[in-house]
A and B are shown apart, each in its own frame.
Chain A
Amino acid sequence: ETGVTQSPTHLIKTRGQQVTLRCSSQSGHNTVSWYQQALGQGPQFIFQYYREEENGRGNFPPRFSGLQFPNYSSELNVNALELDDSALYLCASSSLGGVFGELFFGEGSRLTVL
């Protein structure tokens, strides 16, 4: 079992609302990446935070935003929710410049937008 925890595990929102998802990083890791996984698809990279700064972003609109805190935990915020935002949101903890390849995933937050 990893030290990466995500919350909430499940949530239901309506179109137009806003949501905040949270992720704790593995002890000793300084990098958190967020991924969106639609049903039946592989995860898609949203963005990555390294030492509290955004370090790469995928093809997602600005209403997807993030934050990383000094303890390296992270938040993903999505504004103006759309039906297509329904997905499993995964975070992955790693350590750029550290133990290369050590990568731990959380269990995910399953978001349903009605």
Chain B
Amino acid sequence: KNEVEQSPQNLTAQEGEFITINCSYSVGISALHWLQQHPGGGIVSLFMLSSGKKKHGRLIATINIQEKHSSLHITASHPRDSAVYICAVSSYNTDKLIFGTGTRLQVFP
């Protein structure tokens, strides 16, 4: 069993739909990151969470430390949101990231 699990693995949506991607982890962490990876390979950091909730534009990320669970929400999805979304957790002291396998999102017009 992976230390970081994401669901779903693949997700398709129509433009405008509300999207939720889930992440569960089984290790102790100092922080959880949501990352976006486009087909070219480059990764962009969307959020870093250690508690509660963060919002940036149409993106919302929440974390429940007790349940070891986080969600990434996209409101009013758009085709440009199509990418792989990766959940990663930081271990203590090193910032070493343990990655989930990612959720491939496709948003159709």
Contact = CB atoms under 8 A, between A and B. Distances in A.
Interface string A64-106: 0000000000000000000000001010101010001111111
A55 B42 contact: no
Given A100-B31, A101-B48, A107 B40 contact: yes
Contacts of B95: 31, 33, 48, 94, 96, 103
Given A42-B86, A56-B96, A107 B42 contact: yes
Contacts of A94: 95
B96 A105 contact: no
Contacts of B99: 35, 42-44
A18 to B, nearest CB: 23
A71 B30 CA distance: 27
B51 to A, nearest CB: 12
Contacts of B50: 101
Interface residues of B, number: 23
A33 B93 CA distance: 13
B44 A33 contact: no
**What class of interface size applies to chain A in its complex with B?**
20 to 34
Contacts of B98: 45
B57 interface: no
Given A42-B100, A42-B102, A44-B99, A107 B41 contact: yes
Given A100-B31, A103-B48, A110 B41 contact: yes
A105 B43 contact: yes
Interface string A22-39: 000000000101010100
8 contacts: A42-B4, A90-B41, A92-B97, A94-B95, A101-B48, A104-B45, A105-B43, A105-B45
Interface of B: 4, 31, 33, 35, 40-45, 48, 50, 86, 88, 94-102
Given A33-B97, A42-B100, A100-B31, 5 more contacts: A43-B88, A92-B43, A92-B97, A105-B45, A108-B41
